[in-house]
A and B are shown apart, each in its own frame.
Chain A
Amino acid sequence: MNDAFVQRLARALGGENVVAEPRMLEALATGAVRPGALCRPASTEEVAEVVRLAGEHGVPVLPCGGWTAMAYGEAAPEGALAVSLQRLDRIVEYEPADLVVTAQAGMNFEAFQAALFEHGQTLPLDAPAHATLGGLVATDRSGPRRLLHGTLRDMVLGLTVVNGDGVVRKCGGRVVKNVTGYALEKLYIGSLGTLGIVTEVTFKLRPVPETASVQEISAPSFETGFNLMRELAGRLPLAAAVACFPAKPFSGQIGIEASPPDHARILRELEEAAARCGGSVRETGATRVDADEYPAVSRRLDSVQTAGGETVVPPLAARIVWPSKSGAFGATMHALDALAAEAGFGYLMGYHDFPGYASLELFANGGEKTPDLTRIVKTLRGDGLPATVAWKASAQPLDERAFGPARAEWALMRAIKQSLDPRAILNPGRFVEGL
């Protein structure tokens, strides 16, 4: 890293907030990320100053929060300036009576939720405890409860960002309904920091439900169980519905969040419907929840999202996701099952939300058979499925782009990137080609 640049950074932020010494950086490096320097701005204005300096020196910028999703997307550029948001860790404005909160982007999810729980409120999102709010927005993280609560797109009301030109801009607002000007806040959700560094987020909140639980549904066959889940999700207000494979013969996870009478009703319907098709229902998570127990239910559901529940698995090689209509899923599942048997790798598949998306987690089986990730991704894309490699172990080879196949609307996205990050210094190479 250029000395003059590091010195200017140190003058702007204080020397203690700039790390450029190789041995210290080595300690920070992970399989996915090897920054050339790291800095820790403490305010939106300091973030803007850092981005302006990086722009002048042509240094690529790697925004980072809790380092929980650094392996998401393509490999990060080597020698970039990692900009840690972790000193922006405060709640800026919180009026519980409005169920609206504004917080800084570096605040950690667990601490944020704890502050909301004190008022009986929550951001109904399943996410790792150490993720930061800005990181969640950048990666559009969501979990199984999106079925009931939607995704961040439905929860983010407004943002403060620093664009690639180093200018601080606001978008959206702090009210729950708003059509004033263009909804630029939507652009940043899931943009992987390629348009701007989010420094503050305003969220719409929900009350903590009075009753919440996770139920496991077993059924005598894949078809019976899958159709049962589809039927239940179509007529009952479930909080989450995820079918996990290969669990013999079928295992589905259902989340319920409701008032006590509604919870009892939903549970009764689940039991009756399962019994009708020769299956059963077993509770695997708390029923009565308060502020202390609620995170446990959330974590329980989050584990369903990432690794198929309690199933113990060998090290993960990759995670692939794609939106899928429910009727199309069975055929894909059977095809992958055949492929796995032939190639001898381990896998877990999930179908989420009914209708929603499919996820595929690949495992190196006993360390001998590494799944041929390239072949699997090509097979899925060859069938017209818009598969994204959401995560992969850094040693796992892949001769396909993580995001793809290309869509016509990407040309518009590239032009938007050009207008908000004209020097292309924000997270170059990590997202969709050219963004």
Chain B
Amino acid sequence: MSVTDVPRREPAAGLLDALRAAVGPQNVVTSHDELFVYECDGLTLDKSTPGAVVYVHSTLEVAAVVKACAAAGFPFVARGAGTGLSGGAIALGGMVVIELARMNRVIEIDYENRVACVEPGVINLNLTKACSARGLHYAPDPSSQGSCTVGGNVAENSGGPHTLKYGVTVNHVLGLEVVLPTGDIVTLGGPLGGLGPLPGYDLVGLFVGSEGTFGIATKAWVKLTPTPEAVRTLLAVFPSIEAASHGVSTIVSHGIVPAALELIDKTIIRAVEEWLHLGFPLDAGAVLLIELDGLRDGLDLLAGRVMECCRTCGCLDVRAAKDDKERLLLWKARKQAFGAVGRISPSYYVQDGVIPRSKLPEVLGKIEASGRKHGLTTANVFHAGDGNLHPLILFDERVPEQIAHALACNDEVLSAVVEAGGMLSGEHGIGIEKLAFMPRVFGEADMEAMRKVRAVFDPQALSNPGKAVPMRACMEVKGHRPPAVRPPMRKA
């Protein structure tokens, strides 16, 4: 679905007056120069300037703004830090943007029960900083955790490297206060939700990952996780990406669940080295970054087993980070990978498919073959332990043939994912970016149920319409949005 398909509407003067009445005139932005900042999120390929941006400071203000939009029948979208990678926060057709960054209080931390109550604009890493002195942390850790918000994480059901062991956002949310698209305020689950049985359907589990289409979370009760007493970080060097992916499959099939298990291929290694000079082996085909954590007593045994798995798969060298400084360098390389690629390629396209882990060698082979066929470089840096791929297709948008090849290659990559029994997205969300591909993994009846459930929350389809699930049946599968104009410089 292309952004241009959505007819643009401008908010009427009456709606703007109602918004100003709800939050004060100083908190309603309507000048084009300021709105321009909000024209896209981490997916910079598609842009749409909002009709207005509203700064909110409380649940009641969110409810008043939503009520004003609902009364005018005007669509709106919540926005946190704008780091999403699938276009979830883009104001399609000039929606009103409800900007939650000012609702950034950690309301309460209950150390004894390991639960925090936070506003949606709290930055992910700040929550961990708020409780780390007491030996706790907030486990979901997207690479953008220094800027992304908990509210955005809830909307996207965000992951991150350490979700392999600790689970994604939904596994850590106990309850939510939500402003429904009607403006009504409701609590789903609650501070006790997740501690034990609360009768009824799991609306918290349903809401997390609904990409802002069920309403706006204005408060979240989340679990805090004890920080492990010991961590061991290993770097395993492989001659080829096939060997490295066999290493991943072998570790998983031995029933070992590391805290994180990341694969970085040679293209990324070189890009990172040229930029940051961290001392990665330039002759490697791929490396695995493997983190083990837990009680210190069992870590040597576990590390030994992981090393053995790597060696049986032809690993050239495997070593443990000797200290915290070296460990942080290894993670820096991983987390700066997308930025590094931005330096070596004018544009790139990143996918987020997930496949069964035993299919990694096969699918990675297909990705490389597809790139070769189209004369394009492909690169991989991803959460291998989860089977969550992030293949990057590198191209130059100034060369028209390359655009066509990149789109064709992208299509083939997704086909390989679906053929392997995989799904379209592991953590970035569908947004507008993958909407056209939904019929490849869900039947019409499956999506009809999704639309029906959405209508329960949002009968007027005003909360972030046009995202997550195709609104109408029989959407054109091949229909595609325009290609990249410049590379997204966000981290994933």
| Interface residues of A, Cβ cutoff 8 Å to B | 95-100, 120-121, 140, 150, 153-154, 163, 167-171, 173-184, 186-187, 189-191, 195, 206-208, 230, 234-237, 258-262, 264-266, 321-327, 352-353, 355-358, 386, 388, 390, 403-404, 407-410, 412-413, 415-416, 419-420, 431-432, 435
Q: Is the CB of A186 within 8 A of B205?
A: yes
Q: Within the complex, what minimum Cβ distance (angstroms) separates A189 from chain B?
A: 6
Task: Give the chain A neighbours of B489 by CB distance below 8 A.
Answer: none
Hey, which chain A residues are within 8 Å of B427, CB to CB? 177, 179
Q: Are A182 and B469 in contact, CB atoms less than 8 angstroms apart?
A: yes
Q: Which of B274-282, B405-413, B441-449 participates in binding chain A?
A: B441-449
Interchain nearest-CB distance for A200 vs B (Å):
14
| CB <8 Å contact, B226 and A262 | no
Of residues 244 to 294 in B, which have CB atoms within 8 Å of A's CB atoms? Answer: 249, 252-257, 294
Q: List 13 A-B contacts (CB under 8 A).
A: A150-B167, A154-B171, A170-B443, A171-B449, A186-B170, A186-B205, A261-B298, A325-B113, A325-B192, A386-B198, A407-B187, A407-B198, A413-B200
Q: Is the CB of A266 within 8 A of B114?
A: no
- Whether the Cβ atoms of B187 and A99 lie closer than 8 Å is no
Residue of A100, A236, A322 touching B196 (CB-CB under 8 A): A322
* Contact residue among B135, B159, B200, B356 (Cβ-Cβ distance under 8 Å from A174): B356
Tell me whether A262 and B297 are in contact (CB under 8 A): yes
B145 beta carbon closer than 8 Å to chain A? no
B430 contacts which of A181, A186, A258 (Cβ < 8 Å)? Answer: A181
The answer to whether B110 touches A325, judged by C-beta atoms less than 8 angstroms apart, is yes
Residues of A within 8 A of B198 (CB): 323, 386, 407
Q: Would you call A324 and B438 a contact (CB within 8 A)?
A: no
For residue A158, which residue of chain B has the nearest CB? B423
A169: B residues at CB distance < 8 A? 443, 445-446, 449
Q: Is the CB of A237 within 8 A of B195?
A: no
Contacts A174-B421, A403-B200 hold; do A121 and B255 have CB atoms under 8 A apart? Answer: yes
> Does B424 sit at the interface, judged by CB under 8 A?
yes
Listed residue (A182, A322, A352, A419) with the most chain B CB atoms within 10 angstroms of its CB: A182
- Chain A residues whose CB sits within 8 angstroms of the CB of B168 once the complex forms: 177, 179
Decide yes or no: A182 and B113 within 8 Å by CB, A153-B202, A174-B356, A175-B354 being known contacts: no
Is B347 positioned at the interface, with any CB of A under 8 Å from its CB?
no
Assembly CA distance A174 to B443 (angstroms): 16
B429 contacts partner chain A, Cβ-Cβ < 8 Å:
yes
Q: Which of B196, B358, B450 contacts A98 (CB 8 A)?
A: B358
The proximity string for B residues 424-454 relative to A, scoring 1 for CB distances below 8 Å and 0 otherwise, is: 1111111000100010011101110110111
Pairwise interchain contact B456-A412, C-beta atoms closer than 8 A: yes
- Asked if B301 CB lies within 8 Å of chain A CBs, one says yes
Partner of A323, one of B186, B192, B208, B252: B192
Task: Report whether A265 and B192 are in contact in the complex, using a CB–CB cutoff of 8 Å.
Answer: no
- CB of B357 closer than 8 Å to a CB of A: yes
Residues of B contacting A171 in the complex (Cβ-Cβ under 8 angstroms): 446, 449
The answer on a CB contact under 8 Å between B197 and A390 is yes
Residue in B closest to A100 when the chains form the complex, CB atoms: B356
Instruction: Report if B209 contacts A (CB, 8 A).
Output: yes
A413 touches B201 (CB 8 A): yes
Chain A residue nearest to B86 (CB atoms) is A179
Asked if A177 and B445 sit within 8 Å, CB to CB, the answer is: no
Q: Is the CB of A183 within 8 A of B354?
A: no
A412–B203 contact, CB under 8 A? yes
Verify if B422 is at the interface (C-beta below 8 Å from A): yes
Closest beta carbon of chain B to A335's beta carbon, Å = 18
Q: Is A388 a contact partner of B424 (Cβ separation < 8 A)?
A: no
Could you say which residues of chain A place their CB within 8 Å of the CB of B14?
A: none
Q: Are the CB atoms of A357 and B356 closer together than 8 Å?
A: no
B 77-99 binary contact with A (CB < 8 Å = 1; else 0): 00000000000000000000000
A154-B171, A177-B388, A409-B186 known; A357 and B297 CB under 8 Å?
A: no
Contacts of B383 in A (CB 8 A): 177
With A175-B421, A178-B423, A183-B205 known as contacts, the answer to whether A432 contacts B195 (CB < 8 A) is no
- State A171–B442 Cα separation when bound (angstroms): 8
Give Cα A98 to B468, complex, Å: 27
Are B255 and A206 neighbours in the complex by a CB distance under 8 Å?
A: yes
Q: How far is the CB of B214 from chain A (nearest CB, A)?
A: 8
Q: Give the nearest-CB partner of A389 in chain B.
A: B199
* Complex contact A186–B202 (CB within 8 A): yes
Point out the residues of chain B lying under 8 angstroms from A412, CB to CB.
186, 203, 456-457
* Residue in A259, A404, A420 whose CB lies within 8 Å of B302: A259
Nearest chain A residue, comparing its CB with the CB of B198: A386
**What residues of chain A lie closer than 8 Å to B196, measured between beta carbons?**
321-324, 352-353, 356-358
Task: Say whether B298 contacts A97, CB under 8 Å.
Answer: no
- Using known A-B contacts A183-B170, A326-B112, A408-B187, determine if residue A237 contacts B441 with beta carbons closer than 8 Å: no
In the complex, the 10 A-B pairs of residues with the closest C-beta atoms, listed nearest first: A357-B196, A207-B255, A186-B205, A323-B196, A403-B199, A262-B298, A323-B195, A97-B253, A323-B192, A265-B297
Tell me which residues across on chain A come within 8 A of B170, comparing CB atoms.
183, 186
Of A178, A236, A324, A388, which one neighbours B425 at CB under 8 angstroms? A178
Among A179, A182, A206, A234, the residue within 8 A (CB) of B206 is: A182
Query: Across the interface, do A177 and B249 meet the contact criterion of CB distance under 8 Å?
Result: no
Cα A182 to Cα B457 in complex, Å, equals: 13
Q: Which A residues are CB-close (under 8 A) to B255?
A: 99, 120-121, 206-208
Shortest beta-carbon distance from A120 to chain B in Å: 6
- Which residues of A sit under 8 angstroms from B249, Cβ to Cβ? 97
Contact check, A419 vs B113: say whether CB atoms are below 8 A apart.
Answer: no
The answer for the CA separation of A258 and B296 in the assembled complex, in Å, is 12
How long is the Cα–Cα vector from A403 to B456 in the complex, in angstroms? 22
User: How many Å lie between the Cα of A358 and that of B450 in the bound state?
Assistant: 35
Measured between alpha carbons, how far is A70 from B116 in the docked complex, in Å? Answer: 37
A32 to chain B, nearest CB (A): 18
Q: Tell me, yes or no, whether B342 is within 8 Å of chain A by CB.
A: no
A186 vs B159: C-alpha distance when bound (angstroms): 18
In the complex, how many angstroms separate the beta carbon of A416 from the nearest chain B beta carbon?
A: 5
- A426–B163 CA distance with the chains assembled, in angstroms: 36
CB-based contact A175/B426 at 8 Å: yes
In the bound complex, what is the Cα–Cα distance between A169 and B202 (angstroms)? 19
Contact B295 A413 (CB under 8 A): no
Which of A180, A183, A207, A390 gathers the greatest number of chain B CB atoms within 10 Å? A180
Q: Could you tell me if B356 and A95 are in contact, using CB atoms closer than 8 angstroms?
A: yes
B214-252 residues with Cβ-Cβ distance < 8 A to A are: 226, 249, 252
- The chain A residue sitting closest to B169, CB to CB, is A179
Is B157 in the interface zone, CB < 8 Å from A? yes
Q: Which residues of B contact A190 (CB under 8 A)?
A: 197, 201-202
B252-A357 in contact (CB<8A): no
19 more contacts with CB within 8 A, not counting A180-B442, A357-B195, are A97-B357, A153-B171, A163-B449, A168-B445, A170-B443, A171-B446, A177-B168, A179-B426, A180-B438, A181-B442, A183-B205, A183-B208, A184-B450, A259-B301, A325-B191, A352-B196, A355-B113, A409-B187, A431-B199
Please determine whether A154 and B438 come into contact, CB atoms closer than 8 angstroms.
no
Across the interface, which residues of B come within 8 angstroms of A191, CB to CB?
A: 201
User: CB distance B456 to A415 under 8 Å?
Assistant: yes
B454 close to A98 (CB less than 8 A): no
Nearest chain-B residue to A195 (Cβ)? Answer: B201
Minimum distance in angstroms from A231 CB to a CB of chain B: 10
Complex Cα distance A420/B453, Å?
A: 8
Contact B452 A234 (CB under 8 A): no
In the complex, whether B156 has a CB less than 8 A from a CB of chain A is yes
User: Which listed residue, A153, A179, A183, A410, touches B200 by the CB 8 Å rule?
Assistant: A410
A409–B207 CA distance with the chains assembled, in angstroms: 12
